[in-house]
């Protein structure tokens, strides 16, 4: 009876996941995963995109120019691979998140006992993708309006920053065109614009209102002062403080 219950539960979860992912038009694949040292190391990002396409999804790398029909970033899912490895076993988990960083789908862990990193990661990722294939994805053409989750003050912020923007769509307001969106990572958050392109990376500190921040080659801090967020860094031995706006 217990096995039957677990089987029915798994089927119900898979059905729920399938109904959710079917609401999204395409998937964005990053160029680098947090647990790796370089872009597309061991070709894991290429393998991710290949398997997503094979599973029926439309997918784009995060640096690709995306066709206009996919311009609404909340119509898209954002792929990630999480390293949950132990001492003797490599474990990789695939997640698909919405534009607010909420997990819409999480695969079963793919496992490998191979000692060579490349072989282990490839084997584990292939096994994790079995869960993705089971979704039998097919775009439904409809999506419920995405809403940010109600979270505590220290949780995922939706951040916007006034930055130079070119080639804006006529339908976008200035505020929309400069909005940065936070996606949770293993170490903090990454902030993406509506392209989508990663603009800044945030790393958690012991203080909920302070992050180590990296934008391009500039490293500084994102700090909350008097209910306003500031990106602060040194340039030619001078402290630069740039005001940003944050929504939780």
Q: Is the pLDDT of residue 161 over 50?
A: no
Q: Let me know whether 178 and 110 are in one domain.
A: no
Query: Does residue 200 sit within a domain?
Result: yes
- On the question of pLDDT at 184 being above 90, the answer is no
Domain span including residue 187: 158-247
- Claim to verify: residue 118 and residue 64 sit in the same structural domain: yes
Q: Please indicate, yes or no, if residue 193 is contained in any of the structural domains.
A: yes
The pTM score is 0.56
CB distance 134 to 16 below 8 Å = no
Answer yes or no: do 33 and 108 share one domain: yes
Alpha-carbon distances of 121 from 23, 33, 85, 106, 113, rounded to whole Å: 30, 12, 10, 17, 10
Burial of 87 (0-12, 13-18, 19+ CB in 10 A): exposed
Which tens digit of pLDDT belongs to each residue from 77-129?
999 999 999 889 999 999 999 988 889 999 999 999 999 999 999 999 999 99
Q: What is the pLDDT of residue 97?
A: 93
> Do strands 26-29 and 58-61 pair parallel, antiparallel, or not at all (unpaired)?
parallel
Provide, rounded to the nearest whole percent, the portion of the chain with pLDDT above 90: 42
Same domain, 33 and 128: yes
Q: Domain total for the chain?
A: 2
Same domain, 165 and 57: no
Q: How far apart are CA 193 and CA 183, in angstroms?
A: 11
**pLDDT above 50: residue 4:** no
For position 40, which CATH number holds?
3.40.50
> Are 24 and 74 members of one domain?
yes
Assess whether 22 and 103 both reside in one domain.
Answer: yes
Q: How many CA atoms lie within 13 A of 41 on its CB side?
A: 13
Average pLDDT, integer, range 156-179: 44
Which of 4-8, 80-84, 129-133 shows the lowest mean pLDDT across its residues?
4-8
Structure token pair of residue 4: 């039957």
Do 127 and 168 fall into the same domain?
no
Say yes or no: 23 and 130 in one domain: yes
Judge whether residue 228 has pLDDT over 70.
yes
- 123 and 180 inside one domain: no
Q: Once rounded to an integer, what is the mean pLDDT over residues 54-75?
A: 91
Write out the chain in H/E/C secondary structure.
CHHHHHHHHHHHHHHHHHHHHCCCCEEEECCCCCCCCCCCHHHHHHHHHHHHHHCCCEEEECCCCCCHHHCCHHHEEEEEEEECCCCCCEEEEEEEECCCCCEEEECCCEEECCCCHHHHHHHHHHHHHHHHHHCCCCCCCCCCCCCCCCCCCCCCCEEECCCCCCCCCCCCCHHHHCECEEEECCCEEEEECCCCCEEEEEEECCCCCEEEEEECCEEEEEEEECCEEEEEEEECCEEEEEEEEEEC
Binned at pLDDT 50, 70 and 90, residue 7 comes out as: very low
């Amino acid at each position: 009876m217990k096995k039957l219950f677990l089987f029915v539960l798994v089927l119900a979860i898979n059905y729920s996941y399938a109904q959710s992912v079917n609401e999204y038009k395409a998937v964005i694949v990053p160029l680098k995963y947090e647990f790796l040292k370089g872009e597309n190391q061991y070709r894991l990002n290429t393998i991710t995109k290949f398997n997503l396409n094979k599973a029926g999804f439309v997918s784009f790398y995060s640096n690709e120019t995306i066709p206009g029909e996919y311009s609404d970033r909340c119509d898209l899912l954002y792929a990630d691979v999480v390293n949950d490895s132990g001492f003797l076993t490599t474990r990789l988990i695939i997640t698909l998140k919405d534009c607010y960083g909420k997990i819409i789908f999480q695969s079963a862990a793919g496992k490998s006992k191979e000692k060579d990193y490349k072989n282990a990661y490839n084997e584990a990722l292939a096994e994790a993708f079995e869960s993705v294939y089971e979704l039998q994805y097919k775009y439904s053409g409809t999506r419920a309006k995405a809403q940010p989750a109600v979270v505590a003050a220290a949780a995922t912020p939706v951040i916007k920053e006034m930055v130079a923007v070119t080639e804006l769509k006529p339908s976008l307001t200035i505020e929309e065109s400069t909005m940065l969106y936070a996606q949770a990572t293993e170490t903090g958050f990454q902030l993406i614009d509506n392209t989508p392109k990663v603009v800044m990376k945030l790393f958690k500190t012991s203080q909920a209102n302070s992050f180590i921040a990296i934008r391009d080659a500039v490293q500084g801090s994102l700090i909350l002062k008097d209910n306003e967020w500031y990106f602060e860094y040194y340039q030619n031995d001078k402290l630069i403080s740039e005001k940003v706006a944050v929504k939780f």
